[in-house]
Amino acid sequence: MMTSAPQSFREASARLRVQGLLDAGSFTEWLGPARRITSPHLAALDAPVSFDDGVVVGQGLLEAQLVVVIAQEGLFNGGAVGEVHGAKIRGALLRAIEVRARAVLLCVDSGGVRLHEANAGLIAISEIMRALFAAQAAGIPVIALVGGTCGAFGGMGIVARLCDALLISEEGRLGLSGPEVIETVKGVEEFDSRDRALVWRITGGKIRRTLGEATLLLDDDIAAFRAAAAKEMMGSKTMGDSPRQRGLSPDALQTLEAAQRHLEARAALDPGIRDGQQVWQHMGLGEEVALMDPAEFNRCLEARER
């Protein structure tokens, strides 16, 4: 009836994201909701459970290429990782190796560890990290997609940064400790979590892209995420010519040594810089940054990076 707006990635459920990212009708879910593998730990605390424990995993096609897709549901317990939830992600990463997937699409939408099963969640995230390394070692690129309501925080903020590419929307957030936690412990002067503009200048898609932590800034549009993920997948090396292999590769060491220098340089930024605004000022960018749309913003940064 009406001309429909682009389908918001942020507003879509994990299931709808999966549907929109993959070629139509190509998705097969593993351990789907009908299996009812819910969290016994939530139930023990009389908290609501979900049929898929808040994460959808399976395989499908992206531009006719076999991919594994993992999508956390940010609205269920803040997308937090519990025992079942974590095991599903780990299993899916390992299965990507088995089925020789062309890539893994990891839709991170999580505050980190689920407190109701905190110990299981913490170990699970460590296991996810190991499985992710294994997939990468097998030459399968893992692409993080961040644009949900919870962003990528805690252990899942680390996991997102382990991926080969990180696609983020302006609404997406990426960090370690949530602003509320910092405010609670260190006081409102350190971090006013109610100042949304500040929160986004510290953790939001634009500043993450500016610092090179995100590969690309995207519109809040599932189709934009799909197109960017496909491009990343096609641009990545295929299994045959992967530089990642068992044993010490001089390549890998040098890459990490270069990353070390890069991160050291960033940490040496003027200690007075505590706000994304200052980072942009430091780069000679002004107020105009705020209203630039993602395409314009990527172009602006690419021009500087060249």
Residues 230-249 that bind another protein (CB under 8 A): 246-249
Among 185, 188, 234, 283, binds another protein (CB under 8 A): 185
Q: Which of 129, 223 has the CB closer to another protein?
A: 129
The answer to whether residue 213 forms part of the interface with another protein (CB under 8 A) is yes
- The beta-strand segments (E) located in 181-261 are 216-218
Among 31, 71, 138, 218, binds another protein (CB under 8 A): 31
Q: Which of 228, 279 has the CB closer to another protein?
A: 279
The answer to whether residue 141 forms part of the interface with another protein (CB under 8 A) is no
- Tell me the site size for another protein, rule CB under 8 A: 128
Tell me if 33 sits within 8 A of 75, measured CB to CB. Answer: no
The answer to whether residue 281 forms part of the interface with another protein (CB under 8 A) is no
CA distances from 97 to 113, 141, 246 (A): 25, 11, 14
The answer to whether residue 41 forms part of the interface with another protein (CB under 8 A) is yes
Positions in 149-178 near another protein (CB under 8 A): 152-155, 157-162, 170-171, 174-177
Among 211, 234, 283, 295, binds another protein (CB under 8 A): 211
By CB atoms closer than 10 A (0-12, 13-18, 19+), residue 193 is middle
168 vs 118: CA distance, rounded Å: 27
The answer to whether residue 61 forms part of the interface with another protein (CB under 8 A) is no
Positions in 70-109 near another protein (CB under 8 A): 73, 75-76, 83-84, 86-88, 90-92, 94-95, 98
Q: Find the shortest distance in angstroms from Cβ 226 to another protein.
A: 18
In the DSSP assignment, the letter for residue 27 is: -
Q: Find the shortest distance in angstroms from Cβ 303 to another protein.
A: 20
The first and second tokens of residue 298, run together, are 């990527």
The answer to whether residue 50 forms part of the interface with another protein (CB under 8 A) is yes
* Selected range binding another protein among 100-108, 110-118, 225-233, 235-243, rule: CB under 8 A: 110-118
Among 259, 282, 299, 304, binds another protein (CB under 8 A): 259
Q: Which of 21, 174 has the CB closer to another protein?
A: 174
Q: Taking each helix axis from N to C terminus, what angle separates 83-98 and 118-137, rounded to the nearest 10 degrees?
A: 10
Q: Which of 240, 271 has the CB closer to another protein?
A: 271
26 vs 102: CA distance, rounded Å: 15
The answer to whether residue 305 forms part of the interface with another protein (CB under 8 A) is no
Tokens 């170990």 correspond to: 123
The answer to whether residue 209 forms part of the interface with another protein (CB under 8 A) is no
Give phi and psi for 169, each to the nearest 5.
-95, 170
Closest CA to 21 of 57, 55, 69: 69
Closest CA to 205 of 9, 7, 6: 9
Q: Any residues with CB less than 8 A from the CB of 127 and at least 6 apart, and which?
A: 86, 87, 90
The answer to whether residue 265 forms part of the interface with another protein (CB under 8 A) is no
* Selected range binding another protein among 100-108, 228-236, 259-267, 298-306, rule: CB under 8 A: 259-267
Q: Find the shortest distance in angstroms from Cβ 181 to another protein.
A: 7
In the DSSP assignment, the letter for residue 221 is: -
What is the number of H-type helices and E-type strands within the chain? 13, 7
Tell me if 73 sits within 8 A of 16, measured CB to CB. Answer: no
